[in-house]
Structure formats: C-alpha cells, structure tokens
C-alpha cells in the first residue's frame, strides 16, 4: 500500500521512484493485523494500568486528606513532596504507568513502520514473535514493579525487552535504509 502510494504520487508528479526493498511489500490493513495485535495488547495493558493507578491513588489521596496530613499546593510543594506523602504501593504503580509511556513509545513507532512496510503479515513469524515477546516482557515488568518491585528482576526484564526492541528496530532499519 505504501509503495503503491509512493509510485502513484511520483507518477502524478512526473518522476520515477527508484527500486527499493520497500516496494517488494504490499501492506494492507488486514496483512498488518498480526503485527499490530501485540501493539494494541500493550496499549490495552497501559489502560488497565491506568485503572490500577487510580484504584490505588484516589483512596490513598483521600486518606491523606482525611487525616489532614497533606494538602497539595503547587506553589509550596514539589513532585517529591507528593511522592513522599503517598504509600509506596501507590508509587510503584504510578512509576510503572510512567514507564509505560517511555520505552514503549519507541515500540509503537517501530511496529507502525514495520506494518507500513508490509513486514506484519502472518508469514513474518520472527518479527511478530519479537513484537509479542516485547509486549509480554513489558507486562511482566509491570507486574513485578507493582507487586514485589525487585530491582534486579525489573532490570533484567528491562534489558531483555530493550534487546528485543533493538532487534525490531534493526529489522525496520534493514527494510528502510538498505
């Protein structure tokens, strides 16, 4: 689809499009679905983490206010003050929700690039397997951080998921740059 659009646009402009590995793929929404599924699964997980965050943050906040222990005034208090006042269980979930908006954004971008290039079809099992592996590792990382919060375990999951993300990125680079 992308290559068709490029060829059509170039033809309309009276220019030619050089041959590249990108033009060998024919991406369609249906053919990209197997690769987009792990991305959507991680987005759904992020929304579930948001629900979990509010389910622990709101009661903790209300309890602090009820006891008169903390009244947040942005002119007087910092984020560090807020974090010190909240129970550690709330901080674990809050930190994880923030983390799901950091490295995974690169995952979303690379999955979209791969899908646009046509690398998301069901016969592309390695790419799809890497995407599902990344999603599973991030979900396990969330569960570890929000429950036992063991730093060595979290770090291992983070490094391994980063390696999987690097493999997906190299795949996209190979399809677009070479």
Q: Report the pLDDT value the prediction gives residue 22, as an integer from 0 to 100.
A: 47
- How many CB atoms neighbour CB 87 within 10 A? 13
Architecture of domain 26-177: Up-down Bundle (1.20)
pTM greater than 0.85: no
Residue ranges per structural domain of the chain:
26-177
Mean of pLDDT over the chain: 86
Q: Report the pLDDT value the prediction gives residue 15, as an integer from 0 to 100.
A: 52
> Cβ neighbours of residue 13 under 8 Å, at least 6 residues apart?
none
Contact 157, 140 (CB under 8 A): yes
For the stretch 50-91, pLDDT in tens is 999 999 999 998 988 888 877 777 788 888 887 888 899 999
Contact 141, 160 (CB under 8 A): no
**Residue 44: which H helix or E strand, with range?**
helix 29-67
Contact 32, 115 (CB under 8 A): yes
3-state helix, strand, coil in the chain (%, to 5): 75, 0, 25
Contact 105, 18 (CB under 8 A): no
Low-confidence ranges of the chain (pLDDT < 50): 1-12, 17, 21-24
């Amino acid at each position: 689809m992308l290559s068709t659009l490029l060829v059509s646009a170039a033809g309309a402009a009276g220019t030619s499009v050089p041959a590249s590995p990108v033009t060998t793929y024919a991406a369609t929404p249906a053919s990209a679905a197997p690769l987009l599924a792990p991305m959507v699964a991680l987005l759904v997980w992020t929304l579930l983490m948001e629900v979990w965050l509010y389910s622990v943050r709101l009661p903790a906040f209300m309890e602090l206010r009820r006891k008169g222990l903390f009244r947040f005034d942005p002119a007087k208090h910092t984020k560090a003050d807020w974090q010190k006042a909240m129970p550690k269980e709330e901080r674990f979930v809050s930190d994880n929700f923030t983390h799901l908006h950091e490295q995974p954004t690169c995952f979303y971008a690379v999955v979209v690039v791969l899908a646009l290039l046509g690398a998301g079809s069901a016969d592309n099992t390695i790419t799809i397997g890497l995407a599902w592996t990344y999603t599973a590792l991030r979900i396990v990382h969330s569960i570890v951080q929000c429950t036992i919060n063991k730093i060595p375990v979290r770090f291992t999951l983070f490094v391994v998921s980063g390696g999987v993300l690097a493999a997906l990125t190299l795949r996209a680079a190979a399809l677009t740059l070479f």
